[in-house]
Amino acid sequence: MTRVKIYLIISLFMANIGEWIYFIALNLIVLAITNSPASVTILYLFAPIATLLTNSWAGSIVDRVNIKRLIIYLYLSRVVLMLILVITTHLFTIYLLTFFISIFTAIYTNAVFVYSTKVIVQNEQQRFNGWRSMTQSAGFILGPMIAGLLFFIGTAKLAIIINIIALMIAMLFFSKCPNNITSNIIIGERITFKLIKSDWIDVSSYARKHLYVCSIFIMNGFFILCLTAIDSLEAAFATATLQLTEGSYGLLVSVAGAGFIIGSICNIKWLVKPITAMFYGVLFCSIGYLLYGLANNWWLAAVGFFILSFAISFVNVGFTTYIQKVLPLAILGRFIAIFSLIEAMTTIAVLLLFTIGTQIFALRALVLFGTCLLWMLTLLYGAYYIKYRKGNGSAVY
């Protein structure tokens, strides 16, 4: 692995662990101030709302500025806001700071994806995506573990301070990455409403001419919707329907984390065509969710969890590699941002529907309904996979 990839992986890893520590600590801080679970729930709305507010214009900025400098500014902005977060106890101020942190994080997510696409040569992107998937999986496991240890020896605010340090380390390693990453568009072009509107038209025009790319985006968006809907019921289903204790549920989550890591390792070691990874990933994810939805004990639920988390890593790496190969770099930021905006709006609507559904239907029925939607998606992926296996035989597939 080259030095640039090592620096970038370490930066992403530290930022991801810090994000988990920060969010868990933030939940406890708000709960301690209000003693109200509803107040904590508000925190979960900031990320999708931030996506809705930023993705209509964030892609236009990402495609037109020095991306490395932008990402460093985003690191610094979050560090400053978190320093203020440590010293405040006013609930409204905490919400306001958290909201702006969510906005900067939403822009950062888009920018770092475009940057890594441009800095990593194309034939190394899939393996790099596997490494990145593993850092996210490791953060998923280590972040809450470190946060729990910090709460044991200190306070939730100490965890926020550790996150600030993690962000600064991430920024330090990122600063060692190349700076000569630009787009085909003139840097410094003034961002106006007219320009953003023009960008939307450009993305729409590209989408109409490349329906096969849009179909993958739509299917992946639908995949994420299904996962989000089922995952929103996860804790309630595990404790109320499967009657698991908090400890057993925590162990179940650890099994999922292990599945993510092992799946990521397989993606690093064995490279398969992106469309193949997506198809078989969605297929086995559907199998895993079916086992989980039909489970009546911890062991069957654990097998289902392991299979689905193992498979999700293949879908994520396959999709990321696919769009990096097929999308022009000049519009990458805008295309991702606009489609993510549509996805965020749909996700909020689906979550509201499933939340209402919990008041009408049994949890197992809702989980199995979401699983049925996943199986329908599997058939679509299968049709797409067969079509392009028999079709042009492009290396992308």
User: What pLDDT is stored for residue 395 in this prediction?
Assistant: 45
**CA–CA separation, 242 and 305 (whole Å):** 14
**CA–CA separation, 156 and 152 (whole Å):** 9
User: What pLDDT is stored for residue 391 in this prediction?
Assistant: 64
What residues of the chain score a pLDDT lower than 70?
A: 1, 37-38, 41, 140, 144, 147-148, 151, 180-189, 246, 390-397
Q: Which residues contact 208 (CB under 8 A, 6 or more apart)?
A: none
Query: For the segment 333-371, what is each residue's pLDDT rounded down to a tens digit?
Result: 888 888 878 777 887 787 778 778 877 888 888 888 888
User: What pLDDT is stored for residue 73 in this prediction?
Assistant: 95
User: What pLDDT is stored for residue 157 in this prediction?
Assistant: 82
| Domains of the chain with bracketed CATH | 1-175+185-191 (1.20.1250.20), 192-397 (1.20.1250.20)
Cα dist from 296 to 241, 242, 299, 301, whole Å:
8, 6, 9, 8
Q: What does the DSSP 8-state code read for residue 122?
A: G
User: What pLDDT is stored for residue 287 in this prediction?
Assistant: 93
